[in-house]
Amino acid sequence: MTGSAKHQKLKVFISYSREDLSFADELVAGLAYDGRYEVTIDRHSIIEGEDWRLRLGALIADADTVVFILSPASAKSDICAWEVEEAHRLSKRILPVLAAPVGAIFVPKKLSALNYVRFDSFDDGRPRSFMAGLNALVRALNTDVAWLREHTRYLALARSWDEAGRTANRLLSGSDISTAKGWAAERPKDAPHPTELHLDFIRASEEAEAAKASAERQRIAEIDAAQQARADALTQVELATAEKLETSRRLVGRTRALRVVGGLLGLAIVAVALVYAWDQKTMADRQATVAKEQAALIQKLEAETARADKLPKLVSKYPEGIRAMEKICLEAIQVTSALATTSDKSTHEQSRDRFWELYYGPMYIVELHQAKNSSGTSAIETSMVMFGRQLKAAEAASEPLPHKSLCLDSKAVRDECVAYLKVAAREPCT
């Protein structure tokens, strides 16, 4: 029997009185022979002062079904009565097995209301077939098995969450929440109800997921706002630079015109030197002032341009800087490829976080450098922006992993980075 098959066995706990041990052993052997059950029976004697409730409670909590061997001895047992109450508290399915008639002995109400699997003698004294009783028990055990397994699994998760102080990291997430809600809503007719702890656990998971989704939407909105602010800032820089260049061109034109006028006035002054001598001096002073203003403006413009070019020029000045930019591009290729191809949730989340870190951080250096060495725009930046938009669209639509819709945009990032690096790179999607 493989570990996987063993995990699929129905977990059965046998509750019995020590006086019925022989019958209990025979029942355990019959169920074990069937091979579909993982049978647990407590063979420890109760020692005075021992916290037996803790031990038995754990066995009951881990079981999918509690089989209660009903006899005169178990009906009178306080421990057996406690086991019935504990199974009921945990909303476990209880199957009473009547091993011997109990007569007028009081039977706990939670047992007497259930249908018994009969192993006792017929009313006329004839013995019943043990195998017939075992087959009836097996039929009862095999009813609603899948739902009962989930009952046990969800209860174990809920108890772990509750015992840890109901921390968020113990809750369900994603599609597991809708699966759990469907399980609770599809309870079979005769199956035990989910406990309040079950329902609290599922409800808390749903609320935490909603809060997480709200925080994620806020984070995406902040990213969009930052991206728009970044684009607006770049536009303002471009507009300011264009305005300064236009102002410079106008000043140069004015200076040239003044020089022509000055030449004409000079000829006139030669003819009437005594009359217009003071005009020549005034014009010379004015030309000097204009030239000084023009030089100051050009110097300021050059300083602004140098400041805008400083970072990409500084990085590309040294081999180490070039290698750093190549490394940034290669990482962008790897991260976008991972986001388009990975089915692992953890890898996807790490790659997504790294993509935005690259986008708002070191990739900006590469984009500036590419823009300064081309026509003024960055093809890498365009491909990264388009990839980011598609990534947010895929997550907003709850697209399952891998996000194959990112393949084309991932390829665009790869192609632009490869063209910039002039190196080969693996196809992001096949």
Span 366-412, pLDDT tens digits: 887 777 666 567 889 889 999 999 999 999 999 999 999 999 999 99
CATH numeric code, 3-143 = 3.40.50.10140
What's the burial of 125, exposed, middle or buried (CB within 10 Å: 0-12/13-18/19+)? exposed
pLDDT tens column, 285-330 = 666 776 676 666 666 655 554 554 555 566 667 788 888 888 999 9
d(CA 380, CA 371): 9
Q: pLDDT value at position 1?
A: 38
Tell me the average pLDDT across 324-352: 93
pLDDT tens column, 6-50 = 457 899 999 999 999 999 999 999 998 888 999 999 887 665 556
In the chain, domain spans: 3-143, 148-216, 223-304, 319-421
pLDDT tens column, 180-228 = 899 989 888 888 889 899 999 999 998 988 888 888 788 887 777 777 8
d(CA 352, CA 422): 26
**408, amino acid identity:** L
Closest CA to 37 of 140, 115, 128: 140
The predicted model scores a pTM of 0.47
Token couple for 406: 């990112």
Instruction: Tell me if the domain spanning 319-421 has CATH number 1.20.120.
Output: yes
What end-to-end distance do the CA atoms of the chain give, in Å? 39
